[in-house]
Structure 1
Amino acid sequence: MAQNKMNVLHWHIVDRESFPYTSAMFPNMSVLGAYTTAHIYSIADIKKVLDYARLRGIRVVPEFDTPGHSGSWGQSIPNLLSNCYNTLGKIDQLPDIIDPTIPSNFEFLSNFFTEALDLFGDNYMHFGGDEVESDMQKCWENNPEVKKRMKGMGYANAHELLNYYWQTLFGLIDQDRPGVKKIVWQEVLDMDVNAPLLDGICSLNQHEKNILDQEKVTNAIAHVWKGNSMDAVKKEMAAVTAAGHSTILSSCWYLDLIKYGPDWGYVDGNPAEGLRSRGKYYECDPTDFEGTEQQKALVLGGEAALWGEYVDGTNFMPRMWPSASAVAERLWSDPAQTKSADEAWPRLHEFRCRMVNRGFAAQPPNAPDYCPFEWNPVYQEL
């Protein structure tokens, strides 16, 4: 990352499948929630990563995805998750979303996030928030106990309850750690449903209690990852910045979605496959949308994403590099000087060879070619 001038590591450290993060306050979360006790990040491991990154000018921003993607959390925290039911009233999936109708869950979340903020020592944290629509229906609306408590709290539906979740969580974070910059996936700000969550893009069915106050709204950073076309991405960037949100863009740079041929250059392939499934890393510019200079000043930057469904230590390096190198040049360069993928082709090839010469398994980016030396693998321990 340092060689490529990338200066932020977004660490999606837990998900529904496994909870490898070690909490001193809640140690059983990793003991019971990780794949095995050998597959955890100890507190010492995390501190090593933080120190290693700091010495190379890299900020580490952890993500603890909530309220969904949290199946591994519930192994050790009683009543944290909601049981999920189909339309026939039968449980049909494992719990994977936090239950906001139980007050003790917010006490747990407050303690958990306060500890994590202290450990990572940064004023930025990613709180997730993506892909909850299905779980909201099955685990909140279809769960008779949750629905009863939800109605007793004065909320008419799961969308209002979700907004209550974010309002309460963000209120606790602001109370415990004033000034923390809260990053959320774009669904938190403009879910593709009939009741968007935050006032500013759309209002939430006119219920005053269901709209976050303006301070909490503008304090949320939108992480944009959706969009099946450049036009859709540009519209989303225009919408979230018009609402006053700082913004990070990832839609163009999903490195785990591989394709045949060079994936970093021009947009090609079948448009039906979606923007993230086609090569386009070098063409995308986070500030290329219709908006004012004030809106574009809210763009914090872009992020190349490498998700781990089919990636681990055996193939991480070639999957990441040098595709991410093209993203780095795009984000750090004047667009007027670096719009041509044809002109970037030899630069990327040369830089890939530099990485190979340093011992990194950076894959060929363009076509059959060679470097003037053989790859000699180097593996560095933290």
Structure 2
Amino acid sequence: MDETYRVDVDAADSGTGVAFVTADSLWGVLRGLETFTQLMFSNGEGGLYIRQASIADRPRYSHRGVLLDTSRHYFRISTIKDFLDAMAMNKFNVFHWHIVDDQSFPFVSIKYPALAEGGAYSEDMVYTVEDVEDIIEYARVRGIRVIPEFDTPGHTESWGVGLPGFTTTCYGDDGLPDGTFGPVDPSNEDVYTLMTHLLEEIVMRFPEKYIHLGGDEVSFGFNCWLSNPQIQAWMKSLNISTPQEIESVYIARLLSLVEALPTSPEYVIWQEVIDNDIQVKPATIVEVWKGGWEAEMNKVTGQGLRAILSSCWYLDHINNGNDWQTYYNCEPESFGGTDAQNQLVIGGEACMWSEYVDDTNVMPRVWPRASSVAERLWSPKDTEHNGHTGRRMEEHRCRMVGRGYDAEPPNGPGFC
């Protein structure tokens, strides 16, 4: 996606009074038009002025994303579209759609409709085939790619509601099922058949080169895998003994399924896959999200893999005050890597996990805090937070409010 553009505005009293937006691609035109609109300001009488300017611009990183979790709370299509509009206004270009999780499975699968029938909060809180197509197209015409995430083997409790046997039956100390369920059951061959067919459907319905496969936060301490007699026998046949080895076997099998798909999609994974020493192909993108991210970025890029950073930008973590400044000051390449390693950093993502947000408050919770992430990922490396940054953030928030988005005050007392 070439997003390079140029904007030239001549003043009427000293030049032609004409403005040009020039780019070599549609995506560059979109970004240039956004900048053009942001050069306008009110004359106080219901009209607009436009600033004289000559701007040559391009993004620093090719991957500038926002994650939205639509499992823990369901979001209406209209809310997601507002979210995408705000992303385009801030020149983000990747919508990381964390569409399912433990709590609910709102994605309506053509091949496995039981997943949503059993796993969604209700029959109304789902994303139909038409809904998904609508969101993808709405994003596309705004220069935003939609990368879906279907996270396994953890975060899959809702999967097992519609498809019994997909998740692991946990056993108590008495040797009987205790009524709880754990991660994916990797000893069940039907799981791999389902994943093959579901992945085929996902890559057919999402016209995107990448799919996010998850791989994070498997509850090893829960010991559900180790309590299950069928998995114990399966482990013995493979000569493995730890939950970490179980996950490694499952993830390796999952990656082989993806690589065998006719469309040959690439994949993004969370950092735990690398931390557990699972072999991935060179085109893999690793998303780094934990604390101590500098060492992890160094490790990932040191292995020759591309990385995106999200550790600094978890928008669900709320602090009293203008935490956007902390986001702004996070430099993705400040991990001491070589020039070659820095070249493997392709961008980052701001993440909004939805435990405590829904349609009523997601927009002000995200915006304009995510705007600081957008500027960090777009701007040259030597861009620093200075006395002008806060005033520009305030102006940008007011601009978003003027367009009808519920963006919260970034700097304390004031008014638009």
Normalising by the smaller structure, the TM-score range is 0.7 to 0.9
Partner of 2:74: none
Give the structure 2 partner of residue 256 of structure 1: 316
Which digits, 9 at most, give the CA deviation of each residue in 1:117-145, with x for residues without a partner?
A: 1101111111111110436x522112222
1:151-200 CA distances to partner (integer Å, 9 max, x unpaired)? 1233233222211111111111111145422111111111xxxxx232xx
- Which of 23, 31, 36 is the matching residue for 2:122? 36
Match of 2:288 in 1: 224
Note the alpha carbon deviations across 1:272-320, whole angstroms, 9 max, x for none.
xxxxxxxx10110111211111111111101000010001100011001
**1:206 corresponds to:** none
Note if contact 1:140-1:146 (Cα within 8 Å) is conserved in structure 2: yes
For 2:262 and 2:116, locate their aligned partners in 1 and report how far apart those are by CA, in whole Å: 24
* Residue equivalent to 2:186: 100
Per the alignment, residue 197 of structure 1 pairs with: 277
Is the CA contact 1:84–1:93 (under 8 Å) kept in the aligned structure 2? Answer: yes
Structure 1 residues 43, 178: closer, same or farther in 2, change over 3 A? closer
Matches of 2:345 and 2:399, distance apart in 1: 31
1:4 paired with 2:90, answer yes
* 1:127 maps onto 2:213 in alignment: yes
- Normalised to the residue count of structure 2, the TM-score between the two structures is 0.76
Identity, % of aligned positions:
44
* Correspondence for 1:377: none
Q: Compared with structure 1, are the counterparts of its residues 320 and 93 closer, same or farther at alpha carbon in structure 2 (3 Å cutoff)? A: farther
- One-letter amino acid of the structure 1 residue matched with residue 140 of structure 2: R
Identify the structure with bigger relative contact order (alpha carbons < 8 Å, sequence gap 6+).
2
Residue 350 of structure 2 is aligned to residue 304 of structure 1: yes
Q: Pick from 324, 336, 344: which aligns with 2:389?
A: 344
1:365 corresponds to which residue? Answer: 410
CA distance in 2: counterparts of 1:339 and 1:25, whole angstroms = 50
Matched, 1:14 2:108: no
Which of structure 1's runs of 4+ aligned residues deviate more than 4 A?
86-93
Q: For 2:266, which of 175, 181, 185 is the aligned residue?
A: 181
1:8-40 CA-to-partner distances (Å, cap 9, x unmatched) read: 000000011100001000111111110000100
CA contact (8 A) 2:220 2:244 kept: no
C-alpha displacement of 1:335: 2.7
Partner of 1:328: 374
Q: For 1:42-53, list aligned pairs within 5 A.
A: 42-53=128-139
Measure how far apart 1:90 and its partner are.
Answer: 6.0
Give the Cα separation in 2 of the matches to 1:6 and 1:220. Answer: 21
SS at match of 1:301: strand
Match of 2:241 among 140, 156, 174: 156
**1:44 partner amino acid:** E
RMSD (CA atoms): 1.6
Q: How many residues end up aligned between the 2 structures?
A: 330
Distance 1:317 1:341, change over 3 A: farther
Check whether the contact 1:184–1:220 (CA below 8 A) recurs between aligned residues: yes
Question: TM-score under structure 1 normalisation?
Answer: 0.83
SS in 1 for 2:308: strand
Instruction: State the partner residue of 1:286.
Output: 332
Equivalent residue letter for 1:314: T
User: Which moved further from structure 2: 172-181 or 294-303?
Assistant: 172-181
**Gap regions ≥5 residues in structure 1:** 191-195, 199-211, 266-279, 372-382
- 8 Å CA contact 2:215–2:251 kept in 1: the answer is no
Q: CA 1:160–1:52 in structure 2 vs 1: closer, same or farther (change >3 Å)?
A: same
Q: Secondary structure at the match of 1:244?
A: coil
- Any conservation in 2 of the 1:282–1:341 contact (CA below 8 Å)? no
Q: Which stretch of the first structure deviates more once superposed, 6-15 or 281-290? A: 281-290
Return the alpha-carbon distance in structure 2 between the equivalents of residues 39 and 290 of structure 1: 45
The SS at the match of 2:146 is: strand
